Amino acid sequence: MNLFPKLVVDDAGRAVEFYTTVLGLKETERFETPDGKIVHVRLVLGDVQLTLKDEDAVDAGPTALGLDRSPVIINLEVPDPDAVGSRMEAGGATVIYPIEDHPYGRMGRLRDPFGHVWILRLLDGG
């Protein structure tokens, strides 16, 4: 069984660049409409995978829905949340909660440029 998110974004091409750069994910498949809109792109790194698509008449992302935040939070455990958080910020993400040590581990929360919210947590959880 596999379970992975499909993120709906405004400008999936730019989102692919963001996620491959900041998270190191690799694009493994892509399907586009004749006019170049992405209907499906798969990004993977080890056991981590997510898919993306451009907003359309059926599916809207957070910004098209007029939301200033996503109703879903994506948890990502990484060996160095500070480095990943810095790359996300450099790519246009905004910090919701800075990455800091907590009794439940080193973690922080960021909103990516497409409105999706990520918790970055130290892989071993502390």
pLDDT at 32: 98
- Of the chain, the percentage scoring pLDDT greater than 70 comes to 98
Q: What's the mean per-residue pLDDT of the chain? A: 93
**Strand runs labelled E in 1-126:** 6-9, 26-32, 38-45, 48-54, 73-78, 94-102, 105-111, 117-122
pTM of the model: 0.90
pLDDT at 85: 98
Token pair of 71 as six digits: 């109703």
Separation in Å, CA 95 to CA 33, 52, 107, 115:
34, 22, 12, 12
pLDDT tens-digit map of 32-84: 999 999 999 999 998 889 999 999 999 998 888 887 777 889 999 999 999 99
With beta carbons less than 8 A apart as the criterion, state whether 97 and 121 touch.
no
